[in-house]
Every structure is written in structure tokens, then in C-alpha cells.
Chains A and B, each alone.
Chain A
Amino acid sequence: MSSKKDIIICRCQDITLEQVEQAIDNGITHPEQLKRFLHIGMGPCQGRTCGQLVTRILARKTGKSPAVIKPTSTRPPLISVPIKELWDREDE
């Protein structure tokens, strides 16, 4: 089995399984807190993949049901949008 150091949970920010588990072991069990202190889920995909993985890791480590672990806030825009698409130059 590969080392937890080699398993990437958040591809955008290069956060490994080892880092997530260590943070939880250090007492960071609030999903929003994990997001902010590890920057997990704050990259281009905005947590689309790692969000669910973090919920599962948290559930496993804390013995809670995944159903009671609240996902982090979803914020607009739902997909990233280049700045030039966001305003009409005709208006200038």
C-alpha cells in the first residue's frame, strides 16, 4: 500500500492524506477550519473532489457519521470565470 505521504487528497493545493490526518489528530475537526488552515478545497476545483474525501476522512477519524459532517460553504461562481467574460467592454 502506498504511503499516506503519496496520496493526494486535494490536487489543486497538493494536500496529502498524511497532512489531513495530522491536522485532524491535532484537533482540527471542523470542516471549515480544516479548509482554512490547510487551504484544502480552495484551489481551482473549489473542493469538488476533495470535499467529499475530507468528509469521509473526518468521519473515519472521528467516528461520526458522514451524514452529520456539514460540507463547507459553496460560493459563487460555481465554475471559475475569466475576468474578461465578466464585464462587457462595450460599457466602457
Chain B
Amino acid sequence: MNKNFDAIIIGGGIIGTATGYYLSQKGLKVVLLEKDFLTAGSTGRCITGIRQQFSTPTSIKTAMESVAIFKTLDEEFDFDIEWASSGYMFLAYDEEKVKLFKKNIQIQRQFGLKVNFLTPEECKKVVPLLNIKDLLGGVWCASDGQANPFLVVKGFSEGIEKNGGKILINTKVENINTKNNKVQSVSTYGGETFSAPVVVNAAGPWAREIGKMVNLKLPVEPERHEALITEAVAYQRIPMLVDYRADGGYFVQRVTGQFIGCYTPETLIPGKNTNSTLEFLREMSRRMSRIVPALENVAVLRQWAGSYCMTPDGNPIIGKTEIEGFYCAVGMCGHGFMLGPALGKFLAQYITDKSWPFNLDEFAYGRSFGEREKMV
């Protein structure tokens, strides 16, 4: 195999495959190196939700672009990625959340997002199985949705190969070689060396380790989040329900019938540990059936855990670094799958044309980190 490429992507999740796909579409010869298998990191462990309801302009615009892309992927890949505009409903159980949600709506609407604050009775009309006890209202965005992360990555990776690129699984990066502050090549534990003037760090939970290879300190910290999925039952159009109470959680019914959900642990668990716990299984069951009581008869099939790759301000880090040719698309903070198609497209454009579609300073590498985004 000729080992000279135009771009080397490190990481076979949504970020790596989407970035690689759009680069290969622009005629670049891409090789993607994945240490395990495609979707083995955070992407394949996510709960499939895709929302546009964020609280800052950059995130909202990026997410809206992502939704626009998700809608075209069936046709682009020529198979069903299980996209559905099944919506997101944020539930408010205290006045503070009501206020915050209403404030966010004002920001979101500036970008043309159709989002409304509903009374509990109106929420129940959208989701007849919803328990509205203690509920003060909910924010409803019908154009948010869901898709299948495995199939989306499959489509992007097959696209890279169709465009003449290579996908190498079981290929762990050992070193990134630089000369005069410029990337030259990437060598692997298998003893191979790939040369390219562009290297993209899309390593998710392992992004910091990849950064270290070029002496960059990336402020990305993986945290464990557990999840579970139930058996498939008749589709009841249950949107992603987001409950931000201390003992809340979020879950959605997949268009294929399963309920999939997770919650943010009260005490954060840093590190790449992806063990699952009985406590989560029991707690999540309680929290889900509290919101949708009909779930009590549905059986849980499987539980697992994945990493949210957190940055200090809750926004991703994307773009160039002080090492010429070394780009980052890391620290997705639990939003990698939903933002991935857009961020991949933006980064590919940035690498080839040196321009962003709009100002992405909020996501820039080297920015000063302020407060974490309110709607995690």
C-alpha cells in the first residue's frame, strides 16, 4: 500500500468518519486510523438523540446544520439511517427551569428554530403517555430528532472508501512525527508509517493522549455516563424527554421501538471506565417509569457506559493548533453524534479552503474557557 496521503484521521467515530468523508469528497486522499473498530468509542455508546435546542448561537447554528445534513443522509448513503424528526421535550419542574427555558427559546428563535413552551396539558397532547404530575411545563421542538449512530458511521466510512480513501481498524497510533513544528507522518503500533501534511485528532476519549504526541495539552476530560436500552415495543412516538431534576435523566423511543436512555451521575466519574452498575439499572428504571408509567412493563435488555469528553466550558474544540497541519475535533461534551455531521463538514471546509461557514470562535482551540454551558 502506498502510504502517502493528503490527510490522516485518527479515530473512527462520528467525528472522524464525517470529517474524512467530507475531505474525501473534496478530492483529498484520506486514511482513517481506528485503534479498535468503528463506533467503539463514544459514538456507538450514545443514546441517538439529535437536538438543536442549545443556548448559544454557535451551538444552535451548528446543530441546525447537522439536522439539515441528517435529513439528506438516507439518499446520500442509499440506505436508511433511521433518522426521524421525533422531537425533544425539555421538562420543567421548577420556576427556575421555566425561566431558563423561556430565555433559551428567545435565543433559539433568532435563528429560525421552531420551539415552543407548552403547558403540562399541551405536553400531554404531544406525548399522551407522559405523567404530568409536578410538571410546570415543557419546551417542545418538533424538528429535533434521532438517528442510528452505527448506520451513520457506516455510511460515512463507506463513503470514504468509495472516494478512494482507506479505513484501517485495529490500527493504534503510537506516534505523530513533526519537523519544524509541522506534522509529517503518523506511525502505528503495527510498525507502519503514514505520511500526510494534515492530521486530524478525532480520538474522542483518547484525544488528550493523541494531543500529547505533539506536545499539546488538550483540556479534555472523559467522564463516564451509563445508558440502557429496552426491548422493542410498538412505536408510541415518545420524543427525547429531558428531565433536569437532580434525579432526572433523558430517554427516547427509537423508531425501531426500543427505549434508550441515560442520566448524568450526581458525582461525576472521570476517566475512561465504561463499567455498568446495578445502581444505574435500578435508578434509570425508576426515573423512566416515573415520567412514562407505561414503561413499567417493558423489559430492559442491555446496559453499558460511554464517555462524555468534557471541556471546561462545555463546548467542543475544533480547528487548527499551533502545530502546522495538526487539527483537533475533540471534547464533544456528549454532543458528538448530533453535531458530528456539521462539524465534520465545517472542518473539512476549513482544512481545504481555510474558512469556516460562520464564526466558530466559540469552539476554537486556544480560546479562554469561561463558564460551562447551562443546558448540558
Q: Interface on A for B, CB 8 Å cutoff?
A: 30, 32-33, 36-37, 39, 42-44, 46, 75-77, 80-84, 86-87, 91-92
Contacts and interface: CB of A to CB of B under 8 A. Distances in A.
A70 B302 CA distance: 19
A82 B281 CA distance: 11
Interface string B298-326: 11111110000000000000000000000
Contacts of B37: 30, 32-33, 36
A31 to B, nearest CB: 9
A92 B296 CA distance: 14
Contacts of A30: 37, 169-170
A89 to B, nearest CB: 9
Overall SS of chain B's interface: mixed
Contacts of A86: 281-282, 285-286, 300
A36 B44 contact: yes
A87 B282 contact: yes
Given A30-B170, A33-B37, A84-B296, A46 B302 contact: yes
17 contacts: A30-B37, A33-B39, A36-B150, A37-B151, A39-B150, A43-B232, A44-B301, A46-B302, A75-B276, A76-B303, A83-B285, A83-B295, A83-B298, A83-B300, A84-B289, A86-B281, A87-B282
A76 B169 contact: no
Given A39-B150, A82-B298, 17 more contacts: A32-B36, A32-B37, A33-B37, A36-B38, A36-B39, A37-B151, A42-B302, A44-B231, A75-B302, A75-B303, A76-B302, A77-B302, A82-B299, A83-B230, A83-B296, A84-B297, A86-B281
Contacts of B282: 86-87
A43 to B, nearest CB: 8
Contact of B38 (A33, A39, A43, A81): A33
B214 interface: no
B333 interface: no
A37 B150 contact: yes
B260 to A, nearest CB: 11
B300 A32 contact: no
